[in-house]
Chains A and B, each alone.
Chain A
Amino acid sequence: MKAIPDVGENFDVETFTDRIRNCGVDYLVFHARCNQGLAYYNTRIGTRHPSLKYDLFGKLSEACQRKGITLGAYFNAGISSEEGLQHREWTTLYFDGRSLREPRFTPHVRTMCYNSGYRDHLIEMVKEVLHQYPVEGLMIDCLINYPCICPVCVQEMKKRNMDWSDLSAVTRFAEISAVRLAKDIAEEAMKINPDLLISNNYPSYEELLGINTYFDVVSLPASDSGYEFMPVMARYVRTLGDFPVLNMTGRFYDWGDFGGLRPEEAIKSELLYGLANGMRPNIGGHFHPRGDLENAVLDRVERIYKELRTMEPWFDNAKNITEIAIVYPKKIANIRGDRQLKSAVRMLSELKQQFDVVTLASDWSKYKVLIFPDDILFDEETTRRVKKHVNEGKAVISTGFSGLDPEKKHFVLEQEWGIKFLGENPFDPAYFTVGENCNKGLPDMPLSLYSNGIEVEASGKTRTEARLVKPYHNRDWDGEYAFYYNPPDKVTEKPALTINGQVAHFSHRIFSGYYDKASVELRTVFSNVLGRFLAKPLVKTKNLPSFTRVFVTEQPERRMVHLLSWKYANDRRTH
């Protein structure tokens, strides 16, 4: 904050870098210019923090070089109060003419237009830092798609035939602008240092391929992202290519939280989760602007890293072995929050399966089973790939509306699925009863699906392995009574689960149901179906609880199995 009167006053650069080195840190990212738009180095272009009396970043870079710590310079691209105050024409302009965003009390009150003069300003600051200091990395943060309808953006949107009055088109344009800025920064930076490490943060990982040289997956499980975000991202980002991925957690509970130091077991378990998935550990801190050495934080980091380093030979360049893919060819931005995807990842994790999360950006040919959770509508490319997969005799499990065409009129691969789409199923609540081929470990009674779904007709050789059970009444209010208690009535002929060769389909959105209720029965029936296609999975276990996570990685001539047994307490900050 600009109001801090004593920035850098207590900063003892030698002690700090000694401690960082003793923690085993080989790469440190430190702010050259912060989220407030203030610089911590001697700049001719930007604004150095007014209370800082010396070149803090310069001193740090010199000490890091001397002590063999690779230093990355942090810049925030999307937000900058200082530069926005000085140049109001550099900030984004919203539809109603506002340049300040609501609510005001956030770091995002002033957001920057990537097509204004700010763009060159930022590029020049990056170049300035790279010219002046021995910096070997760059992290450009918050390249967020803030919508902007300033004249410059509107003119370009008109040229591109994009609807500048439509929020989603303007947001998409902001995304394009953010990625373009990332690319231009990277190009200029590489001219100065062709070996520079570069991580841009926020645009989709797929759009940053070829721009980033490494990726950060930022996850604060105690705060915004919860404990179900990292499991999805860890399995997804590694499918995009062979580059370093950093698993960035924080020592604090929330952003802007200077006074939080989470338990050693919490931080360690998160870093081990990443290491078991080929991700390097990265602990974020909020550095005290006065430069106070936070020994308690450094002690904790040192203890954790010391333990992790004893196992480094088995983590180095180890690759995960996987044989199942959860397929998510939908809008990539949604991959961060999709609950059906989180649910599928949780279910397969509890079943100790080895799997990836894939989009159209990676090859699916190595997988034995493809899983399409709940709402994966098939476009041309997905259809082509799935057809090839099935023709090779490999398996598919789809649920709910997955497998339908984008208009939800019919199954795209009707012959392969062996079922016809009849329409939505009205049962609310829907129950099902599972036949003897797939009912191992299930209670012998009608079971809840906890979700809605579709009706199908099985054709020819397709086997119906489970049937829908109608409730007495649907959930309703009839003007006199609330139909809240709706027990199962008769078993219908309507299929709830069909298997045609190597393709299984559940009529209902069982992953939505599993997300909402964590119904063990849904997991059991899914596991039974999976077991028919994958009778010999890579790992089998005995005596392991559902919450234990198992990962298999590989190095030349050896395989590693990672067992992780931590469980978060059921408090409100765990999602």
Chain B
Amino acid sequence: MIEEPIELDNITLSLRHDDRNFKNIYLAPKKERLSYTLKGGYVHINIPKSKGYSLLVIEE
């Protein structure tokens, strides 16, 4: 059975940007902005904390 969400720290998630111009990156639904870098065809995003579920939004 699943009873508790698991908390994770300091995650780096890299999304291939496929030549899109992503610039507005945040966690939904609170729209907390996240810092990111662009390198090697990926947008690298740092997520300081994630508990159970995180919804990361990358907008053009």
B-binding residues in A (CB < 8 A): 222, 262-263, 265-266, 268-270, 272, 310-311, 313-314, 536-545, 547-548, 550, 552, 557-569, 571, 573-574
Contacts and interface: CB of A to CB of B under 8 A. Distances in A.
Contacts of A539: 13-16
Nearest to B50: A563
B5 A565 contact: yes
B4 interface: yes
Contacts of B54: 562-563
Interface string B21-42: 0100000110000000000011
Contacts of A543: 8-12
A231 to B, nearest CB: 14
A540 B1 contact: no
5 contacts: A272-B53, A550-B13, A560-B55, A561-B15, A569-B3
Contacts of B56: 560-563
For chain B, the bracket of interface size reads 20 to 34
Given A310-B29, A311-B28, A265 B58 contact: no
A481 B12 CA distance: 54
B19 interface: no
Interface of B: 1-16, 22, 28-29, 41-42, 47, 50-60
A538 B43 CA distance: 11
A565 B50 contact: yes
Given A265-B2, A266-B1, A574-B1, A563 B16 contact: no
A542 B11 contact: yes
Contact of A561 (B7, B29, B58): B58
Given A558-B58, A560-B55, A565-B52, A552 B5 contact: no
B11 A314 contact: no
Contacts of B52: 265, 268-269, 564-566
B55 A314 contact: yes
Contacts of A272: 53
A568 B6 contact: no
A314 B6 contact: no
Given A262-B1, A265-B2, A539-B13, 19 more contacts: A265-B4, A269-B53, A314-B28, A536-B16, A540-B13, A541-B13, A543-B9, A544-B13, A559-B57, A560-B28, A561-B56, A562-B53, A563-B11, A563-B13, A565-B5, A565-B50, A565-B51, A565-B53, A567-B6
Contacts of B57: 314, 558-560
A544 B8 contact: yes
Nearest to A263: B3
Specify which of B1, B2, B13 lies most central, judged by the most chain A CB atoms within 10 Å of its CB. B2
Contacts of A547: 6
Nearest to A321: B18
Contact of B8 (A262, A313, A538, A565): A565
Nearest to B14: A540
- The 10 closest A-B CB pairs, nearest first, are A542-B12, A561-B56, A266-B2, A558-B59, A540-B14, A310-B29, A565-B6, A563-B54, A557-B60, A559-B58
A386 B9 CA distance: 42
Nearest to A253: B1
A514 B50 CA distance: 28
A140 B56 CA distance: 37
Contacts of B11: 541-544, 563
A568 to B, nearest CB: 5
A571 B1 contact: yes
